[in-house]
Amino acid sequence: MKIRFSRICMYVFLSFAAFFSLAPLVWTLISATNANADILRGTLLPGTHLISNFIRLNELSNLGMAFWNSARNAILSTFLSVLICSLAGYGFEIFHSKAKDRFMGILLLSMMIPFAAIMIPLFQLAANLNILNTTLGFMLPTLSTAFLIMLFRQSSRSFPREMIEAARIEGLNEVSIFFRIYVPTMKSTYAAAITITFMASWNVFLWPRIIMISPDSITMPLLISNLMAGYVADFGVIMLAVLIATLPTVIIFFFLQRHFAEGVLGAVK
């Protein structure tokens, strides 16, 4: 009886947690289908203005260009960041030494430095390299992050060393071992890293606001910010833009959620 009561309490708590977690998304979806006046009145029912809000959104902004810029920047940034950080994490753990441990400690200390403290030097570096308004400039702060290196290093501790020794005996070089053995084995960690990096790259606002000067370089977060900057905000249009900007991250997490928790915990199957 006591077990049954505790299970009921758990289900009630989880139901409330799910409700409060999904409520903002549901409200955004409902608001995207309503006119601005209906939203200001506090309506909680779906409306019939989804198409008109979409037409208005395209009139106020270049939605296609912003979506393409965000997708291109996020995909390239995720691919290069995960590749570089996984190579670094693999090297830190597989070729372990005390010097590497000290250097890893310095990298972890860099996580305590706020982005605002390095924002101006990064901008000056991007300007000197002539990579303003470019995807490379967008990727500059995220090509190598201490968090992802630490994630791959910790996961590599449970990687079977016997597989590496067997591969070396078979004549494989270190590059082949990494791409043909390590990468497939660590798919859970890669799934977690891809999810975290893609969401961060897609939703980043401050750095693109500084480095993407041209209107042709606008991203989805900047587009939403511009929609809210007017004297009169059309909340139906804004909520539709927020909904469109949310979809890619939801899709990525939906497909990779099975491996996400395992990857964060460093599990290897």
Q: How far apart are CA 151 and CA 99, in angstroms?
A: 19
* CB 187 within 8 Å of CB 86: no
pLDDT band at 111 (very low <50, low <70, confident <90, very high): confident
Q: State whether the Cα torsion 197-199-205-209 is positive or negative.
A: positive
What are the pLDDT digits (tens) for 147-173?
Answer: 899 889 888 888 888 888 888 888 888
**DSSP code, position 216:** G
* pLDDT, position 269: 46
What's the distance, CA 129 to chain centroid? 26
**Higher pLDDT pick, 208 / 4:** 208
* pLDDT, position 268: 45
* Predicted structure pTM score: 0.86
Q: How far apart are CA 186 and CA 179, in angstroms?
A: 10
What are the pLDDT digits (tens) for 41-52?
Answer: 888 888 888 899
Average pLDDT, rounded, for the chain = 86
Q: How far apart are CA 92 and CA 49, in angstroms?
A: 55
- Percent of the chain residues past pLDDT 90, beyond the cut: 25
Tokens standing for residue 253: 């997490």
Mean pLDDT of 132-141: 88
Q: How far apart are CA 232 and CA 91, in angstroms?
A: 54
> How far from 207 is each of 109, 111, 122, 238, CA to CA, in Å?
21, 17, 9, 22
* pLDDT, position 160: 83
* pLDDT, position 233: 80
Tokens standing for residue 87: 């190579």
